[in-house]
Each structure stands twice: as C-alpha cells, then as structure tokens.
Structure 1
C-alpha cells in the first residue's frame, strides 16, 4: 500500500497540471476576453466629433459656421493635484466646481474620461495649454460650437445645446452619448440628422499614467468622422436684416414668402436676440436671462403667436362665397351700420366695393347667406350645418391646423366648429347671431402670422400654395428637401374667382393703405386691425407684388400699433420695395417706421 502512494501523488500532480494547462490554453488561445480586458486598460477610445453642416442664405452668404472649442477631460484614476488653489486659478474654476466635476466623473467611471470643464474657448485654451502636462489624467478634446457672422434670424436658425436625459432615452439608434450637443430649436433642431454628421473613433495606446503612446495597431480600427450636410436656407439675408431693423423696438412678426415656391424669404420675430449669446460656456446663464426677459425674445411669434385675422379674413370670405355660389361679383348689400360698425364709404356696395372699402356690414350679411342656407326646418340646425360646410372650405386655405413648416412648435390657430359652440352653449342653443363676429375675422377665430403670409401667397397664386419652408437645398440639391415642400396644395377655389379679388385688393391700397403704394410697382393688399382685449389693437397687413407677376407675399403684425394702414402697411411696403428693387427710395416712410410713433 505504501508503494502506491508515490503513484497517487504523481497522478494527482499530472491531473492538476493538466487542468492548469487546459485553463491556460483557454485563457491564452481559445478565450480572448482577458486579452480584451487587458487591452482596454491600455487603450483609450476617443470619439472624433464631426463638424456640423454649414447654413447659407439663398444667395450663398454664410449664416452659421463652426468655431472650435475644447472640453477638458479627466480620468479620475490618473488625476492628482497637490495645490488645489493654484489649479483653480489656472483653470478659472472654483474649488466647489472642481470637487463637483471630479465627483461626477468618478461616479461615471473611475478609468474612463469624462468632461471636467466644458466649452473652453480658443483664447481660454491658449492660457491653460502649457499647464496640462503638470496634471496627469487631464487631456483636451476638440469640439465645435456654432457661430453667427450676423446676429440675425435667431428664432429661425435655432441653437444647439447638451442633450437631455429624455432625448437620450428616445435615441433608439444609440447615436448620442451623455454630453453630446444637439440641435434644440429652429433649423438646428428640425434638420439635426442632416446637420450632425457621423462620429469617428480613434484608439490610442496609453501607459499607466495615461500618457499617449501612439495609435493602437497603427490606426487599424480608427474611423474618420464625416461632416454634416450643408444647408441652403430660403432666407434672403439682406431682406431679413432690413426687416429686423424696421421692427427694432417693436413687438410683432414679419413673414415674407416667394409665392411660386413657398420659400420663406424673411421670418422676423420681434423682439429677438443675438444668436451668439447661446453658444459656448455661457449658454446656461444666457438662456436663463433670455427666458426670464418679459419681452419674450425666445418666443417665436411668426409660428407661435395667435391673433384674430381681422379684416384680412374678408378676402377668404369672398372667395368661399364665390366658390359656394352664394356670392357673385355683382352681389350687393347695403352698408347697414345697425348690424355692425363700418368706415365712411358709399352704400350699397357690390363684392368689389366690399373688398376695396372693407365693408363690415356687407360681410355680416354675406356670411349669413353662406351659413343659413335653409336646408333644415330648424334655424339652429341650419346654422350648424352651414357652419360645418363653410369650415371645410376655410380649412383648405391652410388655417385651423399647423401648415407644417420646418420648425418645431408651430401652432395651428383655430377655425371654430359646431362642436366648439356645442360645448360652450349646448347643442341646439346657438345660431348665426351667436357667431356673426366670424364674418369679419373676429370672435373665436385665431391665425398665426405664417398662416397669414401663406394666405397672401394663395391670393397671389390664384388658388394654390406650397407649404412654407426655410431650407431649399441640402448639399446644393433641392430634391433632397422633404417632398411635402415640393407638393402643390390646391385650396379648392376656381382660379377665375381670384381675378376680381386681386383687382379689388390692388384698389384697396389706395383706400385703406395709401401710404403702402410704391411708384411703378403694383401692390395688391389688405389691411386689418386685430382686436386685443389686453390693450391697443394690433396692426395687420398682408400683400403680394408685383400684382402682374408676384415675387413676394408678405404678412406684417405690429402689436399694439392700432390701424393696419399705418404700422403694418408701411413696414410691408418698405420690405417689398427692398426685395424687388434692392433699395428703398422713400426715406421719409422709413424714418416713420423706425420712429414707431403709430398711435
């Protein structure tokens, strides 16, 4: 039995050795997970962020470009600092910010890099770059922020900012990571996928102190970033800047559209702000200041403000009445001021005269004829049926819902339905006398300035429009913009009905908006005064020109400026002349608008 002990020991040693050799084989040959773990400890994965695409105006002028900035990255495992006070002086942060940043980085990962100081400008980086070698675990990652050569079109262009937790959660493709910058509003937000480009990745060998030792495997696994697509905006920068100048010190909107394409030539929200303040390390504090500003510069009035259309809506009423067969050019009504107040003009008037003189009693009576068609034995039911039928016509003019412009947060306004009045008054308890204010664009009706500019384009085009949009080409190719911006939208009114309406709008200029007339340029327009329960009424004007071959359609809202023939019509007239002629030849009218003393 004693003789068998050495054999047993030898067998045991052999078995143990075999197990160890097998395990070693699996570790070194069959299973590469340990190799990968070892490599990860020595390899630093650096994301190469692409440059966002540029944005030009329709004539090729740069509106948005990229400016390099730097994020100071920290690897907590490697980071050490002996003199905290000196460190904070060099890098211009407080001790609390340093502790907070280090704690957040360590919570994220002890061995992976994360940002300690974000968005360091070029000038700030020049002051700190020589000190980086003194602090192991720190390195710089280059990024880019947006810059704006001219402080124009801020609400249209939008801004970029750090991605939120909610946005990260919605990113099903997992393209973004915490700390990435994305478009948050305007063109930047709507065209984020086109502008953002494609990230690249570089793998670097580092030693235990984090010192760069060169590319991993000669860059075999590196991928280059791809810059984003460049966008050509529809905006005419010179016209945009001129409009912003005219609206300085005022509240309101100006929207100008090229009728034949739906391209937005100018979109002005007043007051506005310099888009450069929402870039770089001061983004958070500047955004807070703008958001608290009582004048609401971040509020994009052209697509978010909603007003009663006022007398402008009489043009739509005229066209709907003509198409329904209720009105003809010769339909005549008396200017009966016992029904509703009106301007001083002769009576009675036909449809041409009603448009030219903006006759309120005419539309009171015409609208009643459209609504109460006597298709039911009940007056209440008859009004309900008539309102719903009329509303279907009006909705085709792009009212009552968002048009679909390439901007987020567009409002749709309101064209009241029978369901609304049923909720307010109860079914069968309202009739024409309840809703007659709709006849002249008041009451529960609301529109946006963009919708009003689109109406002007419809009148210019004699019955069609293209959805207004701010981008006309992607990398120079206009076929790459969304198809809906290249699709003609018919409003369902025969083209010949527009002939008389256009003539009447041209005549109206010399009545209610004489100051808008331009020598040798025929303007067709309509003034409006939108009622404002909170103060002075809003001045409204829409127009297109030249009448014979429209190049521009425009809507102007100047809040609390009273009659539309003053503030709004004057502003629109100057914008039209600026666009068609390239210059303004009426300095006295320009001075009048700039002074802003309309009341």
Structure 2
C-alpha cells in the first residue's frame, strides 16, 4: 500500500495539472470574455454626438441652427481640489452642486468620465479654459444646442431637452443614453428621427488611472457620426414674423395655408415666447417660468385650442345642403327672428343672400330641412337618422377628428353624434329643437383654428384639400416627405356648387367685414362671432385670396375681441396683403390692429 502512494499522488498531480492546463486553454484560446473584460477596463468608449439637422423656412432662410456648448467632465480618481470656494467661483457652481455631482460620478466609476458641469456656453468656456490645467481629472466635451436667429415660430418649431426616464424605457432600439438631448415638441419632436443623425464612437486607450493613451488599435473600430437631415419647412418667415407682430398683446391664433398644397405658411399662437429661452443651461428654470405663466405661451393654440366655429360654419351648411339637393341657389327663406336672433338685412333672402348677410333664421330652417326629412314615422328617430347622416358629410370636411398635421398633440374638435344626445337626454328623448344651435356653428360643436384654415382652403379649392403640414422638403428633396401630405382629399361636394358660394363670400366682405377689403385683390371671406360663456365673444374670420387664383387661405381667432368683422377680419386682411404684395398699403388699419382696442 505504501508502495502505491507515490503512484497515486503522481496521478493526482498529473490530473490536476491537466485540468488547469485545459482551463487555461479554454480561457485564453476558446473563451475571449476575460479578454473583453480586460479590454473594457483599458478602453474608454467616447460617443461622438452628431449635429442635428438644420431647419429652413420655405425661402431658404435659416430658422434653427446648432450652437456649440461644453460639458465639463471629471475623472474622480484624478480630480483634486484644494480651495473649494475658489473652484466654485471660477466654474460658477454651488458647493452643494459640486458635492452632489462629484459623488454621483464616483458612484458611477472612479476611472471613467462623468459630467460635472453641463451646458457651458461659449462665453463661459472662454473664461474658464485657462483654469482647466490647474485641476487634474477635468476635461471638456463639446456638444451642441439649438439656436434661433429670429425669435419666431416657437410653437411650430418646438424645442429639445434632456431625455426622460420614460422616453428611455420606450426606446426599443436603445439609441439614446441618459443625458442625451431629444426633440420634445413641434417640428423638433415630430421629426426627431430625421433630425437627430447617427452617433459615432471613438475608442481610447487609458491606463488604470484613466489617463488617455491614444486611440485603441489606431482607430480601427472608430465610427464617425453622421449629421442629421436638413429640413425645409413650409413656413414663410416674413409672414410668420408679421403675424406675430399683429397678435402681440392678444390671445388667439392665426393659421395661413397655401390651398393648392396644404403647406402652412404661418402658424401663430398668441401669446408666444422666444425659443432661445429653452436652450442651454437655463432650460429648466425658463421652462418652469413659461409653464406657470397664466397666458399659457407653451399652449399651441392653432392645434390644441377648441372653439365653436360660429357663423363660418354656415358656408359648410350651404355646401352640404346643395349637395343633398335640399337647397339650391334660389331657395328663399324668411328671416324669422322668432326662431333665432339676427341682425338687420334684406328679408327674405335666397342662399346667396344668406351667406352674404349671415342670416341665422335662414340656417335654422335650412338645417331642419336637412335633418328632418321624414324618413321615419317617429319624429325622434327621424332626427337621429338625419343627424348621423349629416355628421358623416360634415366630417369629410376635416372636422370632428385630427387632420393629421406633422405635430404631436393635435386636437380634433367635436361634431356631436346621436350617441352624445342619447347619453345626455336618453334615447328618443331629444329632437331638432334640442340641436338647432348646430345650424349656426354653436352648441356642442368645436373646431380648432387649424381646421378652420383648412376649411378656407377647401372653399378656395372648390372641394378638396391636402392635409396641412409644416414640411416642404428633406435635404432639398420634396419627394421625401410623407405621401399623405401629397395626397388630395375630396370632401364629397361637387365643384360647381362652390361657384356661387365663392361669389357670396366675396360679397360678404363688403357686408360684414369691410375692413378685409383690399384694393385690386379680390378677397372671399366669412366672419364669425363665436359665443364664449366665460366672457366676451371670440372674433373669428376665414378667407382666401385672390378669389380667381387663390394663393393663401387663412383663419384668425382673436379671443374676447367681439365681432369677427373687426379684430379677426382686419388681421387676416393685413396678412393676406403682406403675403401677396410683400408690403402693406393700409397703415391706418395696421395701427388699428396693433393698438388692439376692438371693443
């Protein structure tokens, strides 16, 4: 037995040796995970952030460009500060902020860089750069933020900001990392994937103290960033700026559209704000101030505010009645003020006169003729059937749901259905007398300013529209925009019905909106005064011009400004002249709008 012990021991040693050799072979030859871990400890991965695409107006003027900013990065193991007060003074950071960020950096990694001070402006960087050599472990990483040469179109352009935790969770492609900037609203948000570009990566060798030792494998695995695509917007900067000037000090909206294409020429939300406020290091504090402002400058009224359309809707009623065969140009009805209030005008009137003079009783009676057509012996059921059929026709005009503009958070307004009245009053417990206010664009009906401008485009085009949009081309190529913005949408009304309606709208300018008349330019329009239970009525006006070959369709809402023929019509008329002529000939009217004393 004693003689066998050396043999057994030798065998055991050989087996252990073989196992160790096999394991080493596996680790060093077959399994490269340990090599990769070692390389990760020695290689620093630096993301090369791309420049976002630029945004231009329709004439080639720059609306949004990139401005360099700097993040002060820290490698905790190398960083030392002898005089904390002086450091905080130089870098304009509080002691609490310094401790908080440095602690977070150490928690993340003692040898990898983390941001210590974010979004340093070029001015501040020029001031601090000579001090960087005094503080080991600090270096600067260059990034970019958006900048706006003109403080215009803020609600349309939108803004970018640091990505949120919720957005990171939704990023299934894992493109973003904490601290990245992303489009949060407007064009910046909707076209984020187009504007953001493609990130690049650089790999640097570092020693155990994190000191840069040059590129890894001579940059073999580095990839260059690719700048985002440039966007040409449909906005006409000169018209946009003029509209914002006219709406200064007021609340409301202006939307102007090129009828033949659906391209939005101007989209004004009043009050607005300077988009430069939401850039750089003061984004957070400025956003809070704007968000708390009672006038709601961040609220994008053209696509989010909803109002009763008022008398403007009478044009839609006229067209639906003509298409149904219930009305014709010679249909004459009395201005019976026992039905609903009206103003002085010739009596009775035909359909042309009803549009021209905006006769409320006419549309009260005409709407009853559309709704109650005795298709059922049950009066309640007859009204229900008529309302639902009428609603389908109205919704073809782009009402009752979002149009599909290239902006997030668009509201769709409301065109009430029988289900709404069943819910409120109960089935078979309502009839025409319950809903007659819809005949003149009041009651439960709501629209957005964008939808009203689109109606003006429909009237101009004699029965069709293109989905309103804010993008004209990507990298100069108009075919790269979404096909839905190049697709004609018919509203289901024969084009010949629009001839008389256009003539009546042109005559209406001299009846209810004389301020909208422009010498040598035929304007076709319709005023409205949208009722407001919370205060003074809203002034509303839609128009297109020139009537013979429309170049612009426009809708103006001025909140709490009363009659549509004053504030809204005057503003729209000036905008039309500015776009078609390029200059204003009616200085007195311009002064009237700028002063804003409409009541």
TM-score, with length taken from structure 1: 0.98
Matches within 5 A, 1:51-450: 51-450=51-450
Report if aligned partners of 1:352, 1:500 keep a CA contact under 8 Å in 2: yes
Unaligned runs of at least 5 residues, structure 1: none
Q: Deviations over 1:123-157 (max 9, x none)?
A: 11222223333434333221110000000000000
CA–CA distance in structure 1, aligned partners of residues 417 and 218 of structure 2: 69
Aligned match of 2:535: 535
Q: Deviations over 1:388-434 (max 9, x none)?
A: 11101000000000000000110000001110011111111111111
RMSD: 1.4
SS of equivalent residue, structure 2 residue 149: coil
Report if aligned partners of 2:111, 2:210 keep a CA contact under 8 Å in 1: no
SS of equivalent residue, structure 2 residue 511: coil
TM-fit CA distance, 1:10? 4.8
Query: Does residue 1:503 correspond to 2:538, yes or no?
Result: no
CA–CA distance in structure 2, aligned partners of residues 187 and 591 of structure 1: 33
CA–CA distance in structure 1, aligned partners of residues 245 and 294 of structure 2: 21
CA–CA distance in structure 1, aligned partners of residues 79 and 31 of structure 2: 33
Q: Deviations over 1:138-183 (max 9, x none)?
A: 3322111000000000000000001111111111111111111000
87-96 vs 362-371, which moves further: 87-96
CA–CA distance in structure 2, aligned partners of residues 192 and 88 of structure 1: 36
CA–CA distance in structure 1, aligned partners of residues 419 and 106 of structure 2: 58
C-alpha spacing 1:380/1:4, structure 2 compared with 1 (3 Å): closer
Report if aligned partners of 1:136, 1:209 keep a CA contact under 8 Å in 2: no
Report if aligned partners of 2:206, 2:213 keep a CA contact under 8 Å in 1: yes
TM-fit CA distance, 1:12? 4.7
CA–CA distance in structure 2, aligned partners of residues 123 and 43 of structure 1: 33
Q: Deviations over 1:432-467 (max 9, x none)?
A: 111111110011100000000000000000000000
C-alpha spacing 1:513/1:138, structure 2 compared with 1 (3 Å): same
SS of equivalent residue, structure 2 residue 267: strand
TM-fit CA distance, 1:11? 4.6
SS of equivalent residue, structure 2 residue 510: coil
157-166 vs 65-74, which moves further: 65-74
CA–CA distance in structure 1, aligned partners of residues 126 and 10 of structure 2: 70
CA–CA distance in structure 1, aligned partners of residues 360 and 12 of structure 2: 110
C-alpha spacing 1:13/1:367, structure 2 compared with 1 (3 Å): same
120-129 vs 556-565, which moves further: 120-129
Aligned match of 1:572: 572
TM-fit CA distance, 1:15? 4.1
TM-fit CA distance, 1:26? 3.0
C-alpha spacing 1:567/1:586, structure 2 compared with 1 (3 Å): same
C-alpha spacing 1:83/1:14, structure 2 compared with 1 (3 Å): farther
TM-fit CA distance, 1:478? 0.9
SS of equivalent residue, structure 1 residue 364: helix
Q: Deviations over 1:161-206 (max 9, x none)?
A: 0111111111111111111100000000000000000000000111
CA–CA distance in structure 1, aligned partners of residues 240 and 339 of structure 2: 42
CA–CA distance in structure 1, aligned partners of residues 393 and 121 of structure 2: 55
Number of residue pairs the alignment of both structures matches: 599
CA–CA distance in structure 1, aligned partners of residues 577 and 133 of structure 2: 61
SS of equivalent residue, structure 2 residue 494: coil
Report if aligned partners of 1:137, 1:209 keep a CA contact under 8 Å in 2: no
CA–CA distance in structure 1, aligned partners of residues 314 and 108 of structure 2: 62
61-70 vs 126-135, which moves further: 126-135
SS of equivalent residue, structure 2 residue 512: coil
Aligned match of 1:24: 24
33-42 vs 146-155, which moves further: 33-42
CA–CA distance in structure 2, aligned partners of residues 358 and 387 of structure 1: 22
CA–CA distance in structure 2, aligned partners of residues 388 and 15 of structure 1: 88
TM-fit CA distance, 1:368? 0.7
Q: Deviations over 1:335-391 (max 9, x none)?
A: 111111111111000000000000011001100111110111111111111111110
CA–CA distance in structure 2, aligned partners of residues 33 and 588 of structure 1: 79
Unaligned runs of at least 5 residues, structure 2: none
CA–CA distance in structure 2, aligned partners of residues 493 and 2 of structure 1: 111
CA–CA distance in structure 2, aligned partners of residues 478 and 585 of structure 1: 34
CA–CA distance in structure 2, aligned partners of residues 325 and 4 of structure 1: 116
Report if aligned partners of 2:466, 2:485 keep a CA contact under 8 Å in 1: yes
157-166 vs 113-122, which moves further: 113-122
CA–CA distance in structure 1, aligned partners of residues 110 and 432 of structure 2: 73
CA–CA distance in structure 2, aligned partners of residues 123 and 422 of structure 1: 64
Q: Deviations over 1:487-507 (max 9, x none)?
A: 100000000000000000000
75-84 vs 332-341, which moves further: 75-84
